Amino acid sequence: MTISYSSIGALSNSTTTITPAIPAGAVAGELAVLQVVSAHTNDSVPSTPSGWNLAGSSSGGGGTYGAGTGPRRLTFFTRVLLGGEAAPTTALPAGDANSLLAGRVVTLARTAGTGWRWGAAFGEDTTSGTGFSAASATSLTWASGDLALLGYALPVAGASLSAEGLTASGITFGTFTERADDSVATGHDARLGTATGSVTAGSGTTTSTVTATLAVASTGAAGVLRLREASASITATAQSVFPPRNLVSVTGLLAENVSTVTVYRQVGTARTVVRAASAVDVTGSNVLLRVDGEQPFGVPVSYVAVLTDVNGVQWVITSNSLTSSVSSDVISDAITGIGAAVRLQATSSRKRDRDATRFNVGGRRVMVSKPRSAPSFSLVLKTESDAAATDLDTVLDSATEGVILIRHRTQLARLDGHYAIPSDEEDPTWYDEQVVWTLEADAAEPWPDTLEAAGFTLQDIADNFTSLQDLATAFPGTLLDIALYDWG
């Protein structure tokens, strides 16, 4: 696993708007980093180019804003290239004749991983001198193979850089190579510097200090953009069981220092948090597994994980798409994993009521009421075998917290949902196995998020293997292989 420097585009500088070129030869999959040095009477952050991410921005150097003095701002923007992108445009507000804006685009390549991860930390040196040192108060996580892109924003155009470097407790960096050292003779002047280097040993979460030697004394701001190959991925697997359920696995969390994960089910553009998968603390864990037993049927479903790392930066990863197909409608209890195949026949009109009291006040009708209730209705359905009738009877008899989940064989938004069943009536057809059921249904809240959907258990292992050696022979890899196995 290696991240390497690819190329750097030409310097673009102006007073208010620049469009730095993406380096020739940049290819899809590379990460483009736009480093911008700016100065403005309002110390404004340059606008984020369309399709780019603001990775971080900081102003520093002390003093009063002016020619060759005062604070300069350093900003990093990032974009994973798809190929054929137009050069990015960034701008400062008008109204300052001495403002300045300068930038270059750096491209980087990776050899492995599922994507890119980054984190930024900034510092300032307010003591004018040729020994530049900008310490950051923000901690970043570091690991062997990470690439550090250093950026410098100085107010003195003639303060050329050398011996660029980075220090962090417990982390060893290789040699840093200068990529840019530009005199910016625009507005109140600036110096833009860029260097890259990699971690050769050590890991941990710590603050860092950007250093350099200047040709002439100056103050200024500096920062580091830490870059890493992403390892986290999310996979959805349909389990061969009735009622259908999907096993969602989020893996590769440790290498990205992920602290919390939230998993969503996505249908179209709508997202719903998967049961027991909201802001789960995964500190020290490499895998998060959750079973989704509440997905709609007959429509494509994918899963989205929002990863938050120890620095508070969030990343989004998306799974493959699945479509759960059934030949019947289903009434189930996702908490216990049981369900019944039914055929929905008809529903009565939906009724809502509210507690209300009417008053006659001086001939006017005044009503004091509470909020309108959830809807209730009668639902007629049919089971077509003795086994299905027994299954439905079991679901109704043992429903967790008295709540069931009703789903049409193809998603029916106006019906699919959670219901409480205060009463039910069955009408057998004695000459065959069909039973007509009438359920009184009240729309209900889903089960509490603390109740996890049922998956396969240790009993499934016991049912399939007679000894630990049999189990070890079948699963020679890791315990994760057992957790991901389809025990259906």
Q: What share of the chain is helix, strand, coil (3-state, %, to 5)?
A: 10, 55, 40
Percent of the chain with pLDDT over 90: 82
Of residues 127 and 84, which shows the higher confidence score? 127
Cα 424 from Cα 397, distance rounded (Å):
10
Mean pLDDT, residues 135-156: 96
Cα 409 from Cα 331, distance rounded (Å):
11
pLDDT at 352 over 90: no
Mean pLDDT, residues 312-326: 94
pLDDT at 226 over 80: yes
pLDDT of residue 462: 84
Query: Comparing C-alpha atoms, which of 192, 142, 195 is closest to residue 172?
Result: 142
pLDDT of residue 388: 95
pLDDT of residue 363: 82
pLDDT bracket for residue 468 (50, 70, 90): confident
Query: Comparing C-alpha atoms, which of 232, 338, 240, 239 is closest to residue 291?
Result: 239
pLDDT of residue 47: 98
Looking up tokens 């290498």, which residue turns up? Answer: 255
Beta pairing, strands 300-309 & 314-318: antiparallel
Structural tokens at position 376? 């209730």
pLDDT of residue 2: 84
- Listed in sequence order, the residues at least 6 apart from 183 whose beta carbon sits closer than 8 Å to its beta carbon are 157, 158, 160, 189, 191
pLDDT at 225 over 90: yes
Cα 83 from Cα 81, distance rounded (Å):
6
| Least confident range of 32-41, 125-134, 235-244 | 235-244
pLDDT at 267 over 80: yes
Structural tokens at position 161? 């850089």
DSSP code of 158?
A: T
| Least confident range of 315-324, 364-373, 388-397 | 364-373
CB contact at 8 A, 36 and 208 = no
pLDDT bracket for residue 284 (50, 70, 90): very high
Mean pLDDT, residues 77-86: 95
- Structure confidence by residue, pLDDT tens digits, 60-74: 999 999 999 999 999
pLDDT of residue 3: 95
CB contact at 8 A, 344 and 408 = yes
| pTM of this structure | 0.84
pLDDT of residue 1: 56
CB contact at 8 A, 74 and 123 = no
